[in-house]
Amino acid sequence: MTESPRSAPNPRRRSERSRRAILSAALELCSENGYGRVTIEGIAARAGVSKKTIYRWWATKGAVLLEAVIEAVVSTSPLPDTGDVDTDLVTHVTSVMRVFTSPVIGPAYTGILSELLHDEALARAVNEELVGPRVALVHERLRAGQRQGQLPPDADLELAVEMLYGPLYYRHALKRPFHDPDRIASLVAHVMRALRAPSPS
């Protein structure tokens, strides 16, 4: 009762430390052994926590790996606003290219993309928790470009996102990911030209 609050263990902080250890362990194991061989037991052993601790927060290994991928993607592929929408999209899409080829994040996201094709709940989670918020960021950046007169007010922003991300997913799906930032710069330039060219109708 006389103990100072400062010296009491902070359960939130301790949980956060476990959470980070679990997410790192999951990515490491996926990178080392492949998504198919990752188990909750293995993650628990590597992270130094009990299986019960993991199951308290996540229902499946897919959910653990999705959270790990989301944190890694958010921190490694920002969408800056320097005032030049073309430059900012090149920065962003190039960093997304690097997500697909990253030895740490790539294998986990590849495994998730393979599994979600026959797992509706995982597909929903990927769309709602990862892709949806990322797409919203791109839309926001494109709308700022519209406000600054860098893009026409009637540009089809949904299609813009599909044309920017599409080729990366296409090449990843066929195991021929982009490696060359010049190709990404060229892709972005093409998409921006498409959005700016007058519609023939």
Per CB under 8 A, the list member of 104, 123, 137, 144 interacting with a second copy is 123
Q: Which stretch binds a second copy (CB under 8 A): 8-16, 60-68, 142-150, 154-162?
A: 154-162
| 148 contributes a contact to a second copy by CB under 8 A | no
Binding residues for a second copy restricted to 68-97, rule: CB under 8 A = none
Map residues 15-54 to x or -, x wherever contact with a second copy holds by CB under 8 A: -------------------xxx------------------
Q: Please report, as a single letter, which amino acid is at residue 107.
A: P
Q: Taking a C-beta distance cutoff of 8 angstroms, is the pair 117, 163 a contact? A: no
Residues in touch with a second copy (CB under 8 A): 34-36, 110-111, 113-118, 120, 123, 126-127, 131, 156, 159, 162-163, 165-176, 183, 186-187, 189-191, 193-197, 199-200
